[in-house]
Amino acid sequence: MANRCLIDPTSLLRFDFGTHHPFKIHRLGLTYELIRAYGLIDRPDVYTLPPREATEDEAICFHSQGYLETLRVASSGMWVPNLFAHGLGTSDNPVFPDVYDWGMYVAGASIVCAEEILAGRASRAFNPAGGLHHAMPSRASGFCHINDIVLAIQTMVDTGKRVAYVDIDAHHGDGVQHAFYTSADVLTVSVHQTGYTIFPGTGFAEEIGQGPGEGMSVNVPLDPGAGDEAYERALDEVILPVVRAYAPDVLVTQLGSDAVVGDVVANLRMSLRQFERNVCAFRDLGLPWIALGGGGYDVSNVVRAWTLAWSVITEVELDDEIPPEWLTSAARYNVAISKLRGNIDRTPTDASVLEDLDRTISELRETVFPILGVTE
């Protein structure tokens, strides 16, 4: 029986970005409890593990020692003179109590997922706390202090694995792309709202990698209001063909839910049903698979999207009716959900969005497709 590993985020709920910060850590607890309420934890093919703290030796494969030391010292409450140079102490990347521990535990949890896959104990693993794709070697960025994705992927690359990384967060996965931009061992694919309209202002189709990594970075920027048809085309005409052509040993996905309609930060208007279809397509690739969380600033969307993701990972079809026992605990956070997949079957896509997407796909067919050996 193929086992599935789920990281239990309960020990991470003590951390807090602050009352007014859009990154709400309690979304992790609500997700875990909804997964439990649906009966998706107490199954013979499922086991849970707690996060562990990543070591400095593990983190140093991407992050600079100076940055890690600055983050550690600031985390203790001491004043540090060069905080801003490292992207710390800003409204996006606050220095809250034990922020170093937060980053390192999230990273350690994603490394645990990699270790479970490598050891053959799990064929699929999910860390909903992970997916912090913006953190750079010496700088916090976009609510991300430690780049757990890079550290997990590097863990697998160090054993000789070829990895395909697919990111459907509303924001470009710039930190992960940066880490592997010159590497042929990792294919990075990001579908996101165009950098002309949203942070971090990168992720254009011409960013295809350099040197040995040329053709290994694939970006599909989408215009605001993209809708489901745009995602279907990006999935069918770019993501799946390039991943299959690359033929990786392991698939890593970042499943940010901020692309779902109703998010307060982004405007891509993907339905929850399309989110579920995307995750089903990743599962059907039949690869060892690490799924990570990511962005999402409408808590009800986050909880539903990641519960759906875990149902796909465990191959259990869930009813749309939310278990009533979960609704009581969710009410403490003013979260009210009527249906798991929402009331929208499909969101529309404007013709102008598809015209721009056509141009992007045409460009990728001329640049990265030949390098990767994609046949149509």
Residues tagged active-site: 134
Strand order in the sheet with 186-193: 46-49, 4-7, 124-127, 289-292, 250-254, 163-167, 186-193, 217-222
User: Between β-strands 124-127 and 4-7, what pairing exists: parallel, antiparallel or unpaired?
Assistant: parallel
**H helices of 135-198, where?**
148-157, 174-179
User: Between β-strands 163-167 and 124-127, what pairing exists: parallel, antiparallel or unpaired?
Assistant: unpaired
The two structure tokens encoding residue 152: 């997990």
From the list 61, 14, 27, 75, the residue with the least C-alpha distance to 257 is 27
Q: What is d(CA 263, CA 156) in angstroms, rounded to the nearest whole number?
A: 33
From the list 46, 72, 106, 118, the residue with the least C-alpha distance to 316 is 46
**Is residue 132 a contact partner of residue 146, using CB atoms and an 8 Å limit?**
yes
Q: What is d(CA 180, CA 216) in angstroms, rounded to the nearest whole number?
A: 8
Alpha carbon 190 to chain centroid, angstroms: 10
* Burial annotation 34-55 (CB, 10 A radius, 16+ → b, else e): bbbbbebbeeeebbebebbbbe
Q: What is d(CA 55, CA 208) in angstroms, rounded to the nearest whole number?
A: 32
